[in-house]
Amino acid sequence: MRMTRRLKPSRVVNIADLRQIAQRRVPKAVFDYLDGGAEAEVTLRENCRAFEAITFRPRHAIAVGECDLRTRVLGTEISFPAMLAPVGYSRLMHPGGEIAAARAAGEAGTGYTLSTISGHKMEDVKAGTKGFAWYQLYLVGGREVAEGAIERARKAGFSALVITIDTPVAGMRERDPRNGMSELMTGSVFAKLPFLPELCTHPGWLTSFLLDGGVPKLENVVVPGQGGMPMTDVGTALRRSVVTWEDIRWIRKSWTGPIVIKGILTGDDARRAVDEGAAAISVSNHGGRQLDGVAASIRALPEVVAAVNGRVEVLMDGGVRRGSDIVKAICLGARAVLIGRAYAYGLAAAGHAGVTRALEILREDVERTLRLLGCASVGQLDASYLQCP
């Protein structure tokens, strides 16, 4: 009941409010892992600032009756043009982790994407949602392990495979080493000692973390004869797991469903992804967590949309904090957006209830924005509603 009161619309008005609650609830190492970006965090800030630089051109004196927010992604209808992006280590933010987030997505009428770097088994995640789910594949553990995960995803009912191509190494997220993220995840007891006082200042999180069994294994990276791979820091987990265009070819032979290529920022890579058989691509700079100094995703979106020329669906992620951001992305050619931090703040703040509130906020924002634009449906949005720098 207390958590429900804390998330009331009068108290949690926007995603920034959920961020503040998350920052109070979880230790600094966990919050900064979620909140931070690579190096000087230039791209992290630009992802949001670029949306602010785009202004609307509304049509006034128009009576908008029923507002249709629905769209279709890879043949499946979603209630409004946003899905949940893959977020690693979700179980560290809240014990419900991926299951709680997937459940909230299904209840909201949209889809969820499960990261390879997750603490709950993919079968439990898929069973926990009444919506559809995609599986994001990293080649952690090698090809044999990846092929096992692909087969499990198929049997569990995941409808698409997401291949992230922008992680040849993990970006240098400078907050993490300062906070001892690696030591907390993988180090000895003695290595953890300098960082324990900070954990103890968050007794609610610490109690739930310990009751949940502590640092979970990577339940979807099953090494033959060893079981789930121990949870590691991002750099260790992604090392030697570079995805190349050649890898996508053998993945296509193992996976008969649609493939989404995530991490596209240029027209050339977009065309290559189409040539390699992608059914959709996501314009993404990994939330500013990989190569710092690249373009904001919303800036790269028009080039990619023009390059694919309608041959595949285009999604976008990075910097989305408001429903108006979602509307701007749709106007510039995205079919839908993938939201990451926006829902992860809610997860860290209050588990399932927090993700639910995040999705409510964004959906209400989208509808309000359409009505203020004088537009009756998502399908009618185009670039004429925007003034871009």
Taking phi over 0 as left and psi of -120 to 50 as alpha, with beta for the rest, 142 belongs to left
List the Cα angle 371/374/378 in 5-degree steps: 70
Question: Are the C-beta atoms of 374 and 384 separated by less than 8 Å?
Answer: no
CA distance 111 to 133: 5
By CB atoms closer than 10 A (0-12, 13-18, 19+), residue 228 is middle
CA distance 248 to 230: 26
Query: Of 94, 120, 202, 286, which one is the catalytic site residue?
Result: 286
- The 10 Å Cβ neighbour count of residue 101 is 33
Residue with tokens 């839908």: 336
CA distance 172 to 174: 6
**286 in active site:** yes
By CB atoms closer than 10 A (0-12, 13-18, 19+), residue 200 is exposed
> Which residues are designated catalytic?
286
